[in-house]
Amino acid sequence: MNQPLLSIQGLSVDYVTNQDVFRAVDKVDLDIADNEIVGLAGESGCGKSTLAYSVLNLHRPPAFITQGQIRYRDTSVLDLPTASLDRFRWNEVGMVFQSAMNSLNPVVRIDRQFLDVLHAHTDLTREAALARAEDMMRLVDIPVSRLRDYPHQCSGGMRQRIVMAICLALEPRLIIMDEPTTALDVVVQREILQQIHELKQRLGFSVLFITHDLALMLQFCDRIGIMRQGRILEMGSRDDILHRPQNAYTCQLLDAIPGRHLFGRTWQWNQTEEAAL
């Protein structure tokens, strides 16, 4: 790999509570290249969100990063001063949080929510910011007229795509998605992931995609890390994980996927069969 966009090395995160220290992330290494979709799969509680928060240096006590470093291009993220962190968090690395569709302010129209973010993080004029908001709505396939709606007037899938659109409006190089579609039904889930994939081809960004759903990840990611109890047990290309798993736990996760034998044939992105789906 050329110089990775993001490089996490030997990262440990501890939760320190009443004399007790719980290590949620344990000496994790993880690289993400430009334009790459990297997945992180593992059961609930294995440390996925804790790792994601670390990339943006978002931890507050009782969470402490106790070892390791995070490099974004030539920048050491953990050494960034507060003033630069804010810019880094939105303009370089965007995050779509778990159940993000509920993160829109219910009493504020959608166009206002775009404008607030764009004004806080860019020098765009009001007109240019509105034009950007309209472009982003088109990108995620939502009628521009919806900008005048309140979030509750939109479906869950639509709200999730709007949150993505707001995140993309700042043109980050890396987007962290923490269980972005867990609350959605499988058809909408697939539509949204397909859309992220297409947007990535057009706009060029990298994704760290986090989910407990390995089947979903196998459709969507270039490389996949299998996480358990704070450690990355195995990291490999989608094909390696699917066909040549090295770790017994990976095998267990694969065995738990219904219809796994169909994967190679029908569940691949960017394949000719996709046209037929």
Residue 50 contact among Mg ion, ligand ADP, none, beta carbon within 5 to 8 Å by kind: ligand ADP
Residue 121, Cβ density class (10 Å: 0-12 exposed, 13-18 middle, ≥19 buried): middle
47 or 94: whose CB is closer to ligand ADP?
A: 47
Site string (42-81) toward ligand ADP, x via CB under 6 A:
x-xxxxxxx-----------x-------------------
Pairwise CA distance, residues 205 & 201, whole Å = 8
Long-range contacts of 117-126 (CB under 8 A, 24+ apart): 117/90, 117/166, 117/169, 117/170, 118/169, 118/170, 120/90, 121/87, 121/90, 121/91, 121/170, 122/91, 122/170
Residue 15 contact among ligand ADP, Mg ion, none, beta carbon within 5 to 8 Å by kind: ligand ADP
Structure tokens at 14: 């501890």
Which residue's structure tokens are 């297409």?
Answer: 198
Q: Let me know the angle formed at the C-alpha of 136 by 115 and 267, rounded to the nearest 5 degrees.
A: 140
Residue 140 contact among Mg ion, ligand ADP, none, beta carbon within 5 to 8 Å by kind: none
Which one among 49, 54, 160, 206 touches Mg ion, defined by CB under 5 A? 49
> Is residue 24 a contact point for ligand ADP (CB under 6 A)?
yes
Which one among 12, 15, 31, 117 touches ligand ADP, defined by CB under 6 A? 15
Residue 46 contact among ligand ADP, Mg ion, none, beta carbon within 5 to 8 Å by kind: ligand ADP
Structure tokens at 249: 């736990």
Residue nearest to Mg ion (CB): 49
Residues 1/35, Cβ–Cβ less than 8 Å: no
Binding-site ranges for ligand ADP (CB under 6 A): 15, 17, 22, 24, 42, 44-50, 62
Footprint on this chain of Mg ion (rule: CB under 5 A): 49
